[in-house]
Structure 1
């Protein structure tokens, strides 16, 4: 028994992922305009009014830009922890009380057999979280905006059938880039973003025989490139012996300007 997902957009200009299990369609983040989210959903054959709800990772604009508009237009409940809600009020505008659902970090919500679990991550937000989506033993883990791989994150995402993991920047590109030093320091800090090297090193511990694909996500448009991210991560995985000719780790692309193809998460 499996389910499927598509990453509608990934990066500093906006993030949104659609997870579908039977008639249950849930959105993780809504960091694009509502119009753009609607367009991307329709391109993947999903009517926006077929959404069940929206889950929120944290309050930064590239994750919640279209949240209020989508929730109001389609009368969707929004799930976020209370510290995030305290920061969201101004950004999302008026929502009814039954749309503002407090989802405690670490809790699990079920839609039929689809279980949704949040867990804490390190980022410069009020109470940022990542998510696991699971049907039986089949698991999709989505973890971006991570300053560092904490023991909790490692435990929660290890052994996922499909893993979406941040590979935000190349450290050398960032250091010589145009950002002011205070911004660079934030990105490089433990509450910033995971680099290509850090993602590769983490995957050496996270990838198991059950892991079929790894999506490299939230790539910086200014300080990273798809080919560079994949080359860096793959080199680390090969050097460590995690990825071999007999069993290569499949690294998948994500995009800021278009969605990924549907991907089915299942046991092989």
Structure 2
């Protein structure tokens, strides 16, 4: 019996996560075209027709671009909170009422043999939230798209065996890059995105003495690199006496290539 996942795509161009148990198969976000999503599922040998639902974290296009077409094509129920549904009005196309469901922030919802807890994050969206998944004593937490990691987020995340965790940008690359100052200020702000170094600091607090797998996610195409994210997070964790390679294992994600299906 196992809880498994794949990061189908992660980055500023589109995000989608797949989570499964023996009885449930869920897609979290659909920020790619319908065609690209199908290609991602083919890559991990999963049929989208076997999906049981689509969970939406927030209404930004890199998280919902293909949500409407995918839900219609495979008759998927979509779960989002009320403010996110309001913000998505007109963005998903026409959906029948029997495919639209509410999943409130702070709620624990059970999908067959999988318990999913939602929690709020600090991002410039209507009511953004992310999820922890629990099955048979194993726990996976998905946490990206937040300007900082609060005590509440850390509390929900603790005890996880695997993380999909934001490591969006290198601060120096962002500050010296081509973005207008208004965009830089947004990314660096409390409702923006977590930097590599802040990801390491937060993970050091959350991980404690546990052995965990961490997938560094939502890397900026312009203001980060996989090698730099990994190096910075590793250095920061080691400054807090967290041993990388044994206690914490770091993994890359990619905007176009899914990660192999992984047991939590």
Query: C-alpha distance in 1, partners of 2:110/2:263?
Result: 19
Q: Does 1:19 align with 2:19?
A: yes
Runs of 4+ in structure 1 deviating by more than 3 angstroms, as ranges, are 208-211
SS of the equivalent of 1:174 reads helix
Conserved 8 A contact 2:56-2:80: yes
Please say if residues 160 and 211 of structure 1, whose CA atoms lie closer than 8 Å, have aligned partners that are also in contact: no
Mapping 1:1-268, distance limit 5 Å? 1-243=1-243, 247-265=246-264
- Give structure 2 stretches of 5+ with no counterpart: none
The answer to whether the 8 Å contact 2:2/2:22 transfers is no
Tell me, in whole angstroms, the C-alpha distance in 1 between the residues paired with 2:210 and 2:216.
18
What is the CA distance between 1:42 and its match in structure 2? Answer: 1.4
- Out of 173-182 and 38-47, give the one that drifted further: 38-47
TM-score by length of 1: 0.96
Unaligned runs of 5+ in 1: none
Tell me the distance in 1 between the aligned counterparts of 2:168 and 2:113. Answer: 32
Q: CA deviation at 1:2?
A: 2.3
TM normalised by structure 2 equals 0.97
Q: Secondary structure of the equivalent of 2:91?
A: helix
Q: How far off its partner does 1:244 sit?
A: 5.8
RMSD: 1.1
Contact 1:159 / 1:211 at 8 angstroms: preserved in 2?
no
